[in-house]
Amino acid sequence: MGLAAVIVGGGILLSRFMGLFRDKLISLLFGATRESDLYFAAFVIPDLINYMLAGGYFSITLIPFLTRYFEENEQEGWRFFSSVFLWVTFSICTLTAVAFFSASTLARLAAPGLDARELARLAFFLRIILPAQIFFLCGSCLTGILFMRKQFFVPALVSVVYNIFIIAGGLLLRSRGMEGFCWGVLFGAFAGNLLLPFLAVKYGGGFRFSWSIFHPGLKSYFLVALPLMIGQSITVLDQQFMRIFGSFAQAGAVSWLSYARRIMMVPVSVVAQAAGMASFPFMADLYVKGDLPRLYRTIKSALQNVMTLLIPVCAWMMLIAGPTIRLIFQQGRFDAADSFITARLLQVLLVCVPCWGVQQVLSRAFYAKLDTLTPAVLGTLVTVLVIPLFYLMAVHIGAAGVAWASVWALFLYTAAMAAWWKLKAGGEAFSGLFSATGKIVVLTCVALAPAWAAKKAIPFDPHFSPYLSALSEIVLSGVVFGVLFALLSAHFVPELARPFLDRIGPVGRKLLKNRAASG
């Protein structure tokens, strides 16, 4: 499971760097303007269609069923897969066609704060991006096969290929505004999300397809997937809420929030999502075998590892939020004022990253037990409750209000999921988690003070050398913070630090050995 997490995390990290380069290109060419706002808003409707069919969860919900059918009989497994694939393809093609011809109306729902000319441009972007959802959904089914086989390398590359095409489209058609990026989304979805997984499935173990429209397991599968289609969690709508309610704020607000969220999602993706994705096949396998004690220990281990990494990383990222935004985005039409606002929004959003970590692991724990109803119901209730909060804070506070509304929404959802799990399954998965988290918070604060001093000691003036000073602040504070936190954690919480120090080579193992000798 650790190796799988490293593979998935490495792929996600590479993908995130590609995504940052893509957004850097957007900020360079278009800054935080209405044109960039329209591009980000163009994803609201396609993403909602994807969520309606549980697109982000198709590979997850398929894994327990594929595991069961393929273990019983491979031919039966392919019949089940083919049946699901046919129905998914029919459903997404139908919804995409309806949305394509209703793009003008849907544009007004996606960004109600825009004028008529801007809405027409948004509808044009929407029609280009919409067909990509067909490739996303169909590709998710193929990715489920790869996860079932515990083949993680190609799924980790999917987003990398996707982002390469977006960047290429933006560069080749930059004279046509954000339109080039939209075409890049379409072709990138086909190449990265559909073609690549298909080739991996075919040549990584074989692919068999039959025109099996109905299968006995189809009903059971859709009953499990149905709550994810009906229920809309704040974790999947968070980005859409930023785009929708950000349109009520000043021009550029959607772009500021999108850039800040892009940076915030790096630790979420590399640590939290990687841990959830890598642990899920193992959790599903343990549940199918009925080994609940090992299932709960696996959940506990995943939660502890996620919190041990996320808390210090997020604290350090808050410290370097300003130089990070300045280094990555401040260039061309994205000026110092844009950097300042985006950095403050990033600091706000980083507050809820540990909640993302807990949610990513817990949601997959529910799915491993074939319980998709609980996360869907809890997520939908929280989403309904926070909609007025998003609107009020957007209208009265602006972009910062939208960011704080996102933080509170994620906190409420995570707390609700944890409370329900403890009520129904007991507290074994959380045993020792709160005390361990408290220790990590204390050690993080101790290591953060010298890192702050190191950041302030940089001799370069950010007004005259903005990029050199930003890079120096990030590197120096990061080295000081990383070394101090590693030393402190190896000495005071070796049981939490061991999974990570063991993997950084002889230095990490020596730290643990010295701690054992002194003990």
Q: How far apart are the first and last CA of the chain?
A: 30
Q: Which DSSP letter does residue 190 get?
A: I
Alpha-helical runs (H) found in 320-398? 321-328, 336-350, 353-368, 373-396
Residue 325 to residues 202, 407, 454, 493: CA-CA distances in angstroms?
Answer: 42, 20, 19, 33
Nearest to 58, CA basis, from 222, 190, 210, 206: 222
Q: What is the pLDDT of residue 476?
A: 92
Q: Domain segments of the chain: what residues? A: 33-230, 231-427, 432-519
pLDDT of 449: 93
Q: Please state, in angstroms and rounded to a whole number, the distance separating the CA atoms of residues 130 and 125.
A: 9
Secondary structure, 3-state, 67-115: HHHHHHCHHHHHHHHHHHHHHHHHHHHHHHHHHHHCHHHHHHHHCCCCC
Q: Is the CB of residue 353 less than 8 Å from the CB of residue 310?
A: yes
The structure tokens listed for 452 are 């702050």
| pLDDT above 70 coverage of the chain, percent | 88
Q: Running DSSP on this structure, what letter comes out for residue 272? A: I
Count of residues making up the chain: 519
Q: What is the largest CA-CA distance in the chain?
A: 71
CB 23 within 8 A of CB 39: no
Closest CA to 419 of 454, 458, 374, 453: 374
Q: What count of Cα atoms within 13 Å lies in the side-chain half-sphere of residue 513?
A: 7
**What is the per-residue pLDDT for 94?**
92
Burial class (CB in 10 A: 0-12, 13-18, 19+), 499: middle
Is the pTM for the entire model greater than 0.75?
A: no
Under 8 Å CB-to-CB from 300, ≥6 apart: which residues?
A: 428, 429, 430, 431, 432, 433
Q: How far apart are CA 134 and CA 33, in angstroms?
A: 30
Cα pseudo-dihedral 229, 230, 234, 235, rounded to 10: -10
C-alpha–C-alpha distance, residues 243 and 112, integer Å: 10
Residues of the chain with pLDDT under 50: none
Position 227 scores a pLDDT of 63
- Name the residue type at position 26: I
Cα–Cα dist 515/490, whole Å: 7
